[in-house]
Chains A and B, each alone.
Chain A
Amino acid sequence: MVDQVHKEFRKRDLLYSGALWLLSLIIPDPQLHYRREYQLRRRDLFYLLTILLLPLIWNDAHFHHLMVLAGIHGILALGLTLFLGYAGQISLGHAAFFGIGSYTTAILTTRYDISSFLAFWASGLTASFFAYLIGRPILKLKGYFLALATLGFGEIFLVLVRESPHLTGGVIGIFDIPFFSIAGFIFDTYLRQYYLIWGVLIGLVLFSKNLIRSKMGRAFLAVAASEDGASAVGIDVNGIKLGVFVMGAAFAGLAGSLFASVMSTANPDIFSLNLSVLIVMMVILGGMGNLYGPIAGAVFLTWLIDGLSRYQEYSLPIYGVILILLLIFFPDGIGTRLRVRLIYLISYWGRKRRREKVEL
């Protein structure tokens, strides 16, 4: 019955497809990985133009600063979505890799006068090195116990940072980290930092896009679907899990380096469990298994936290309630859910009008 309805072309289908096309511009595609091959779509041009033009149109320092933070969170969420959204593993220690990247840059630039551009790459390498060390033993775990083990790693990292003041400045942290600079060009205003962060983010998105359509990316999905099945078809499950963990950590390390050189401070309070929870929330609210969703989730949650900070001591309880409500009502991501609902509604309107016509 439904199939018959959709076979014939009706004039009003033009209207629906127009609405869907508009929707598809804004809302991330939840089924990106079902497509055979990724190609640059019109939607990407739309995103790119928005990212480039938005800070020029909305020329406000607070907005720029917020979007800088959102971009850093976006890089973090992008790294975690490879691990959580594609490979189906959970990590509550992502903030530790962010912290490792941050402290690497802080120490290299303030103690050894190494240029921040070199420190940027060194941070990614250091974070992925630690991820390799920690990932080897703990990635055999699953579910809750993997979450707990990564959480434990995050807590150990925090204790080590607090207790070695000669290296990391202890609880006070490290100050006066120089701004990021390439060949004498210093990113010292919020607008320049905005373009720096989002430029890096775009580069990492392109990298991830290519990654997930590669052989390795398909292996991520296979591991997430069934580890036994994946190993039966010849996928090195442990290697894939370790690889994606290291890659997510490298992203986090790069984000940490950018954070240190943009905020010019590194402090153990930032890299606590709360940040890890926040990153996982970004990925969940953005929708598992797509790349744009977590970035949208990062922007959304950064704005939410900034908006809530107006209520001071009430902000944390409200934040907790909002998180729980979002999880209850949008368990597979805000974008995915809205899209499914809207498609359902549009098709429902179509069927309803047709039914009425038949009854008449």
Chain B
Amino acid sequence: MKYVDEFRDGDLAKNIARKISLEANTNHTYRLMEFCGGHTHAISRYGIADLLPANVRMIHGPGCPVCVLPIGRVDQAIRLATEQGVILCTYADTMRVPASNDLTLMRARADGADVRMIYSTQDALKIARMNPEREVVFFAIGFETTTPPTAVAIRQAAAEGLKNFSILCNHVLTPAAMHAILNVAGGVKLDGFVGPAHVSTVIGSQPYEVFAGDYHKPVVIAGFEPLDVMQSILMLVRQINDGRAAVENEFTRAVTREGNRKAQALVGEVFELRETFEWRGLGTVPDSALRLRQKYTAFDAEQRFGVKYIPVSDNKACECGAILRGEKRPWECRIFGTVCTPQTPVGSCMVSSEGACAAHYTYGRFREEIQ
């Protein structure tokens, strides 16, 4: 795979690893957060932690749309499918997320709900066109990367006069979540961020400048391939050593400062800010999500079917909040690996394989077992 395999080369990885070890100051512990689940996945899947010196510590952030989706939102989707009898279209990622009453979309489907896994919003439109007598709802989740495809679908549906299509909108915003992490009372022990790859192709590098400026945290935007991640870690170590805090871009092959203006304009035309939105693990975050603009409310499933959002609190023993902020490590949670496993996730970090806890359980468990 061109532009993929070159960025997974083991020999080059060793070179970068050597550089990181040489340059990392042994008197300092570098606490770096990779915001995105995609980076968490790369770090776990390629065993990148083994190539880093012990004083460079990666903290897995909340950038996994499935993990931060509150239980109450999945409940809404399930209610749409079971009580309203709609065809619920979803990315496969949400199928196993535990909701209330021991339900998941997978179990709802087993109980007879019409839940369909799709690859693209285009597939959801196709299903709506083919089933004019049925209501079709797309369970729209994801960050800035996944939002523009939803915007395109809404515009298309409006242009076609597709009356039986709507969305359950859960699109969320990356910078808002980074603010939430940095605004924790008592401060947060983070030296810098590995910035999102594909989110940044859309929003550009400019929105992160505030974190370098106001919070004095270096940000290096990195691709999702393992060499990208390693290079961005080296770049962060250098900034920290120099006492600098800037936004740097390792993923120049796909990210510019402005981002994708066409996609941004489409999103701006279809969506507007929600004053507040609940994130699993982070709580209620102001201005952190999107809803459909007035002219498109006909496509809002929450309004069309009157399915209200009912918050559901997380298990008290769950330490997801502290883990997402980098204050605790997965195995420091009392229920990690016992009550809470990928098979029976209790907290958000265990829900998807990109969550901090699930990634550690699935890929890195041997590390503390061996200690």
Q: Do A and B belong to a common assembly?
A: no
Task: Identify the A interface with B (CB < 8 A).
Answer: none
